[in-house]
Structure 1
Amino acid sequence: MGNFRRRGPAALFLLWFLATGFELCAALNHEGLALLRFREMVEADPRGALADWDEGHASPCSWFGVRCSDDGRVVGLNLSNLGLKGVLSPEIGQLINMHSL
């Protein structure tokens, strides 16, 4: 019983970290969140171009059509000729380093 009392708090912390720590490490940055909001407003994606846009990534730089600078900022979005249909979300304005759409 004495062994548990000494290790109990450490075990509880480990369980808490495993439950929440990994989720925090993979949290998507604000630019990725803005792009996900853009994707939500897309009504039609006939080629599935946005299918790999996943909130589980820490950065959107590996997503189809997204171009990033060396420091990981979104600087371009090339989704031309994909038959996308929808409305541009206002969150697209949060991509302050984007030069081309």
Structure 2
Amino acid sequence: MASPSLFLCFILPIFFSISSTVSTNSEGNALHALRIRLSDPTNVLQSWDPTLVNPCTWFHVTCDSNSHVIRLDLGNSNISGTLGPELGELRHLQYLFK
């Protein structure tokens, strides 16, 4: 049987790593769903690739030190459309558009 210290040293860090990835991926999924709702005639959102785990690398997306999306800056980009419930997945969002 594994000792508690083995769990804390090896298993727990793996759990937190996976948990962080899932959280970040849910934010990426939410942003991709938003992209689908929007009309983007000049392809400003072309970097919003749902196959990338981390949306923090996408243009017009700013993240905090924990890789949570905190800002979407899409002002003056000629984007139109409706916002949807998927924005609720962006729990750390502080700034939306411009």
Normalized against structure 2, the TM-score is what?
0.71
Structure-1 residue corresponding to 2:29? 33
**CA distance, structure 1, for counterparts of residue 67 and residue 93 of structure 2:** 12
**CA distance, structure 2, for counterparts of residue 31 and residue 57 of structure 1:** 11
Length, aligned pairs only: 75
Structure-2 residue corresponding to 1:9? none
What's the secondary structure of 1:75's corresponding residue? strand
What's the secondary structure of 1:92's corresponding residue? helix
Structure 2: state its 5+ residue gaps. 1-20
State percent identity of aligned pairs.
Answer: 37
- Which one of 52, 71, 76 corresponds to residue 71 of structure 2? 76
Trace 1:18-57 onto structure 2 (pairs within 5 A).
29-42=25-38, 44-57=39-52
Moved over 2 A (4+): none
Structure 1: state its 5+ residue gaps. 1-25
What's the secondary structure of 1:29's corresponding residue? helix
CA-atom RMSD, angstroms? 1.7
Give the residue type in structure 2 aligned to 1:41: R
Give the residue type in structure 1 aligned to 2:48: W
Structure-2 residue corresponding to 1:5? none
Which is higher, the Rg of structure 1 or of structure 2?
1
**CA distance, structure 2, for counterparts of residue 64 and residue 35 of structure 1:** 12
1:65 paired to 2:89: no
